[in-house]
Structure 1
Amino acid sequence: MLHPDIHSDRERRPAAPALEEAVSLALALPHLEVVGSDVVPLPKARPGLLFGPGKIEELAAKFKAHEVDLVLVDGPVTPVQQRNLEKEWKVKLLDRTGLILEIFADRARTREGVLQVELAALSYQRTRLVRAWTHLERQRGGLGFVGGPGETQVEADRRAIDEAIVRIKRQLSKVVKTRDLHRAARKKVPFPIVALVGYTNAGKSSLFNYLTGAEVMAKDMLFATLDPTMRAVTLPTGKEVILSDTVGFISDLPTQLVAAFRATLEEVLEADLILHVRDIAHPDSADQATDVLAILNDLGVAEDTKQIEVWNKIDLLDPGDREGLQVKADREEKIFTMSAITGEGVDPLMQAVTDALDDERFTAEVKLDFAQGKQRAWLFNEGIVEHEVQDEEGYTLTVHWTARQEKAFKGL
Structure 2
Amino acid sequence: MSDTTPGTSSTPAEDVVNRVLANDASRASGYAIFPASGRADALQREDPDRNAFSVDSDGEQFDREDRAALRRVQGLSTELEDVTEVEYRQLRLENVVLIGVHSGGSLAEAETSLRELAALAETAGARVLDGLLQRRPHPDPSTYFGRGKAQELADVVAALGADTVIADTELAPSQRRALEDVVKVKVIDRTAVILDIFGQHAKTREGKAQVELAQLQYLLPRLRGWGESMSRQAGGQVGSAGAGMGSRGPGETKIELDRRRIHTRMARLRKQIKGFAPAREAKRANRGRRAIPSVAIAGYTNAGKSSLLNRITRAGVLVENALFATLDPTVRRSQTPDGRVFTLADTVGFVRNLPHQLVEAFRSTLEEVAKADVIVHVVDASHPDPGSQIATVRDVIGEVDGRAIPEIVAFNKSDLVTEDELLVLRGLEPDAVFVSARTGAGIDELLGKISDLLPKPEIEYELLVPFDRGDVVALAHDRGRVLSLDYEEDGTRVRVLVDPAVSDPLRPFVVPA
TM-score bucket of the superposed structures, by smaller chain: 0.7 to 0.9
Corresponding residue for residue 450 of structure 2: 353
Relative to 1, partners in 2 of residues 1:279 and 1:380: Cα closer, same or farther, differing over 3 Å?
closer
User: Is this contact kept in 2: 1:313–1:339, CA < 8 A?
Assistant: yes
Displacement of 1:61 in angstroms is 1.0
The RMSD of aligned alpha carbons is 3.1
Partner residue in 1 for 2:414: 314
Conservation of the 8 A alpha-carbon contact between 1:201 and 1:220: yes
* 1:1-400 equivalences in 2 (<5 Å): 1-5=97-101, 7=103, 14-29=109-124, 31-130=125-224, 155-157=255-257, 158-303=259-404, 305-322=405-422, 324-325=423-424, 332=430, 334-357=431-454, 359-366=456-463, 372-379=469-476, 384=482, 386=484, 397-400=493-496
Change (3 A) 1:173 1:11: farther
Percent sequence identity over aligned pairs: 35
Q: 2-side partners of 1:379 and 1:253: how far apart?
A: 44
Q: CA deviation at 1:355?
A: 2.9
Whether the aligned pair in 1 keeps the contact of 2:98 and 2:128 (CA below 8 Å) is no
- Which moved further from structure 2: 243-252 or 378-387? 378-387
Shift, 1:171, TM fit? 1.2
Between the aligned partners of 2:291 and 2:150, the Cα distance in structure 1 is 61
Please report how far the alpha carbon of residue 154 of structure 1 lies from its aligned counterpart in structure 2 after TM superposition. 6.1
Q: After superposition, what is the alpha-carbon deviation per residue over 1:128-182, rounded to whole angstroms, capped at 9, x for unaligned?
A: 1248xxxxxxxxxxxxxxxxxxxxx964422221111111111111112222222
- Residue pair 2:293, 2:455 contacting (<8 A) in 1 also: no
Counterparts of 1:352 and 1:36, CA distance in 2 = 45
1:363–1:398: 8 Å Cα contact kept in structure 2?
A: no
Q: C-alpha separation between the residues in 1 aligned to 2:334 and 2:187?
A: 44
User: Residue type of the partner of 1:53?
Assistant: R
CA 56–218 in structure 1, closer or farther in 2 if over 3 Å, else same = same
> What does the per-residue CA deviation read over 1:74-111, in whole Å, with 9 as the maximum and x for residues that have no partner?
11212222223223222112111111111111121221
Measure the CA separation in 1 of the matches of 2:446 and 2:108.
33
Cα distance in 1 for partners of 2:487, 2:98 equals 75
Question: Counterpart in 2 of 1:148?
Answer: none
Q: 1:320 to 1:166 in 2, by over 3 A?
A: closer
Aligned partners of 1:254, 1:327: CA distance in 2, in Å? 31
Which amino acid letter does the alignment assign opposite residue 91 of structure 1? Answer: V
Judge conservation of contact 2:436–2:443 (CA < 8 Å) in 1: yes
Cα distance in 1 for residues equivalent to 2:381 and 2:373: 24
CA deviation map 1:322-355 (0-9, x unaligned): 4x358759x94x4211211121121222222223
Do the aligned partners of 1:232 and 1:243 also contact (CA within 8 Å) in 2? yes
CA deviation after TM superposition for structure 1 residue 369, in Å: 6.6
SS of equivalent to 1:400 = strand
Q: Is the 8 A contact 2:338 2:481 kept in 1?
A: no
Distance 1:100 1:241, change over 3 A: same
Which SS does the other structure have where 2:296 is aligned? Answer: strand
Aligned to 1:36, what secondary structure does the other structure show?
strand
Normalising by structure 1, we get a TM-score of: 0.83
Task: Report the 3-state secondary structure (helix = DSSP H, G, I; strand = E; otherwise coil) of the residue aligned with 1:311.
Answer: strand
Q: Quick one: distance in 1 between partners of 2:415 and 2:507?
A: 46
* Distance in 2 separating the partners of 1:65 and 1:171: 46
* Residues 13 and 101 of structure 1, relative CA distance in 2, 3 Å threshold: farther
Contact preservation (8 Å) 1:189, 1:408: no
Q: Deviations over 1:31-88 (max 9, x none)?
A: 3111111212334433332232221111111111111111111112122222232232
Give 1:336's aligned amino acid. V
Preserved contact between residue 476 and residue 498 of structure 2 (Cα < 8 Å): no
Larger radius of gyration: 2
CA deviation digits over 1:375-396, x for unaligned, max 9? Answer: 24433666626356878xx758
Offset, 1:405: 6.6
Equivalent pair of 1:326/1:337 in contact (CA under 8 Å)? no
Question: What CA distance in whole angstroms lies between the structure 2 residues aligned with 1:406 and 1:160?
Answer: 51
Aligned-pair CA distance for 1:255: 2.5
Query: What residue in structure 1 maps to residue 69 of structure 2?
Result: none
**What's the secondary structure of 1:232's corresponding residue?**
strand
Instruction: Quote the Cα distance in structure 2 between the aligned partners of 1:282 and 1:380.
Output: 41
> Residues 65 and 403 of structure 1: is their aligned pair in 2 closer, same or farther, counting only changes over 3 Å?
same
- Structure 2 CA distance for partners of 1:89 and 1:112, relative to 1, 3 Å: same
Change (3 A) 1:354 1:85: same
Partner letter of residue 203 of structure 1? G
Tell me if structure 2 keeps the 8 A contact 1:188–1:411: no
Contact 1:249 1:292 in 2 (8 A): yes
Q: Contact 2:102 / 2:110 at 8 angstroms: preserved in 1?
A: no
Q: Determine the structure 2 residue equivalent to 1:145.
A: none
